[in-house]
Amino acid sequence: MNPLNELSPLATVLVSAFLLLGAVFTLVGALGLLRLQSFYTRLHAPTLGTTLGTAFVCAASFLYFSLAGGRLAVHELIIVALVTVSTPVGLIVLVRASLLRESLERDRSESQSDNA
């Protein structure tokens, strides 16, 4: 027997809505990465899209497997916790590396112009 057939229509609609919201937020984040102009604004959109998209997909998975399995499925909470912590940390590392690189390039160009 298929567990999907055993879910109530309301649960099926909620799972589908969460999956669609997760897909939409992830798509918007990916489009922001492609469409935005500067490096710093490009980083912001996928960070939010990844975090919110993953949260909604995990909410759909949590709801589906909890209702279909008859017990709480907690592994999604671990996924959400790891993504929520690691995505902003990755953003901070990338921004700091970019700022350091810009600072080093600016110092190099200033020292070359002083020598000329």
Q: What is the pLDDT of residues 30-74, one digit of tens each?
A: 898 888 888 888 888 888 888 899 999 999 999 998 888 888 888
Cβ contact 20:59 at 8 Å = no
Report the sign of the C-alpha dihedral through residues 20, 86, 48, 104, in that order.
negative
pLDDT (0 to 100) of residue 18: 96
Q: Quickly state the pLDDT bin for 108 (edges 50, 70, 90).
A: confident
Global pTM reads: 0.77
CA distance 7 to 18: 15
CA distance 11 to 84: 25
Asked if the model's pLDDT at residue 5 lies above 70, the reply is: no
CA distance 18 to 66: 15
Domain ranges of the chain: 7-115
Q: What is the pLDDT of residues 6-15, one digit of tens each?
A: 788 899 999 9
- Residues of the chain with pLDDT > 90, as a percent, come to 34
Q: What is the mean pLDDT of residues 79-91?
A: 88
